[in-house]
């Protein structure tokens, strides 16, 4: 899928988790619901770090472009080192390592650890990166025509404000994990979810997605998971733009209302 659909699906997924958490008796404070949805929207773009033309490659100027080139080469190297005889030959790393459950969990766990042990500046850094990505994905039309600096300033300002709100008693710094020293441990959850939602979205397209690597399936370690081929669509097609994106908006709205006990 394309960037905007990925971000919308990520936000909708976290709002759905908020509804489920409320039903299970672990209701999210509204700042956790809002911040988590924005982080998840941004994280849903991150697996395309292996694609030099993806939205994330433009998000932070030369830094993100260089990072995408490095990750592409790393992913390709991992693919070559671990592929089976049944896996096809490739010339690049797109839709390999960063499109797996392993990568999602690794990045999410790393961000949780950084938030818990790195203090306020680590939290601000995580929020800044994902809020910039959320702007690039959710407000992509405005982001394309505006200055990168303005997008970065919006991300930095929003990160500072939202971190201040979360720090207030009862606003969610210790949501779900309330033992001393576990503040912001939950920040990795929307990051894992966003990456997995991205992978599921890509699995619906014609190329599929090897989300279960390194589990071998049909003799392949990089088996492209997906529905039957007649049910798949091309990225950017009318199915994505006219069906899935409106559906994500509706589902996100319902999830938010349920999470806040409006329905």
Q: How do residues 126-150 score in pLDDT, each as one tens digit?
A: 999 999 999 999 987 777 778 888 9
Q: How far apart are the first and last CA of the chain?
A: 31
Sorted by sequence, the CB contacts under 8 Å of residue 125 that are 6+ apart come out as 114, 118
**Residue 46: its pLDDT value, please?**
94
> What three-state secondary structure class fits 220?
strand
Q: Tokens in use for 20?
A: 């489920």
- Reported pTM: 0.93
Q: pLDDT digits over 26-58, tens only?
A: 889 999 999 999 999 999 999 999 988 888 888
Task: Compute the average pLDDT of residues 199-207.
Answer: 91
Under a CB-based contact definition with an 8 Å cutoff, are residues 217 and 226 in contact?
no
103 pLDDT above the threshold of 90:
yes
Query: Which pLDDT score is estimated for 261?
Result: 81
Nearest to 7 by CA among 59, 66, 73, 80: 59
The 10s digit of each residue's pLDDT in 114-123 is 999 998 999 9
């Amino acid at each position: 899928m394309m960037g905007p659909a990925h971000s919308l699906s990520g936000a909708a997924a976290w709002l759905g988790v908020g509804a489920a958490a409320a039903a299970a008796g672990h209701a999210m404070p509204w700042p956790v619901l809002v911040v988590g949805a924005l982080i998840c929207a941004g994280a849903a773009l991150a697996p395309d770090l292996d694609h030099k033309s993806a939205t994330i490659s433009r998000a932070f100027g030369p830094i993100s472009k260089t990072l995408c080139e490095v990750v592409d080469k790393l992913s390709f190297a991992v693919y070559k080192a671990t592929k089976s005889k049944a896996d096809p030959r490739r010339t690049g790393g797109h839709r390999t390592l960063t499109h797996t459950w392993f990568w999602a969990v690794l990045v999410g766990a790393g961000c949780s650890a950084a938030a818990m042990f790195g203090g306020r500046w680590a939290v601000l850094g995580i929020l800044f990166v994902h809020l910039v990505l959320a702007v690039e994905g959710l407000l992509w039309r405005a982001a394309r025509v505006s200055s990168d600096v303005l997008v970065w300033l919006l991300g930095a300002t929003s990160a500072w404000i939202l971190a201040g709100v979360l720090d207030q008693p009862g606003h969610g710094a210790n949501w779900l994990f309330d033992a001393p020293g576990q503040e912001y441990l939950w920040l990795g959850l929307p990051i894992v979810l966003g990456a997995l939602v991205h992978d599921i979205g890509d699995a619906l397209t014609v190329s599929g997605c090897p989300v279960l690597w390194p589990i071998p399936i049909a003799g392949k370690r990089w088996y492209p998971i997906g529905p039957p081929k007649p049910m798949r669509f091309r990225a950017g097609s009318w199915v994505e733009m006219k069906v899935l994106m409106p559906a994500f908006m509706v589902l996100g709205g319902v999830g938010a209302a349920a999470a806040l006990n409006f329905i």
